[in-house]
Structure formats: structure tokens, C-alpha cells
Amino acid sequence: MKIGTDIIYIDRVEQNIKQYGNKFKEKFLSPQEIGIAQKIETVAGFWAAKEAISKALGCGIGKQLSFHDIIIAKDKKGAPSFTLSKEAQQRHSVKESSLSISHDGGFAIAVVVIVLHNRCSPSSDKLQ
């Protein structure tokens, strides 16, 4: 089991949107995510979520995992979840996950718990 967390100052996200417009959102959100993230708090929460996920996977955002490899969705009640792109799922092998995003007092925070598939083959557990 792996845990990741991230916190971001909402004003920082807002300033980037004012300066760069939609290009800032497009840097780390898919068109579907942009459609969901109508409030600045949600945009900040999605940023924190993607950072938290990358931390839980132990690789950060970079070669092994891009912002666009992480797809955040919300259910009918507004609870967030995520999936990984096919390529990222093959690299990281997530079995189960849970994501929580919250915002208050000018900050957005995300916490993720990830369970990875066991990559050991059955024969490697035996002593020879």
C-alpha cells in the first residue's frame, strides 16, 4: 500500500490561470477534466490530486508518469476517483485506489491510497 498527499495554495493556481489562461489548465488537465473543474478550487484540487498520485507511485511527474496519464473523474455524488492511461497502468500496475480532495482556507489538499498488484511470480517465492 502506498500513500501520497499534496497541498497547494489556491491563489497560486488562480494567478497561473490569469497569466496563461486555458493553456495552464491544458498543461495538466484533459478536456473532460476541464469540463468538470469549473471552480478554481476544483482546478487546484485536481492539481494536488495528480501530484499526490505521482508521489504515491514513487515517481513524481516526469518520464514515468505525465499529468495526462492521470485521469480524474467524479461520481454522481461528487466523489473523486482516478484512472491511469493504459501505458501508465502497465508501468505502475495499480490494483486499487482511493482519492480524497478537499479545499478550505485558501488551500486545496489531496490524499491518495494506492494498492499495487504483486509483481512477483509464484515461482520466485520458492527457495531453491
Give the whole-angstrom CA distance, residue 109 versus residue 104: 9
Tens place of pLDDT per residue across the chain (128 aa): 999 999 999 999 999 999 999 999 999 999 999 999 999 999 999 999 999 999 999 999 999 999 999 999 999 999 999 999 999 999 999 999 999 999 999 999 999 999 999 765 454 444 44
* Fold that domain 2-119 belongs to in CATH: Ribosomal Protein L22; Chain A (3.90.470)
* Predicted pLDDT of residue 118: 78
Catalytic residue among 25, 50, 92, 103, which?
A: 103
Cβ–Cβ contacts within 10 Å for residue 27, how many? 12
103 is catalytic: yes
Catalytic residue among 25, 50, 55, 92, which?
A: 55
CA 35 centroid distance within chain: 17
* Predicted pLDDT of residue 119: 63
* Predicted pLDDT of residue 126: 45
Residue extents of the structural domains in the chain: 2-119
What is the per-residue DSSP string for 41-85?
Answer: HHHHHHHHHHHHHHHHTTS-SSSS--GGGEEEEE-TT--EEEEE-
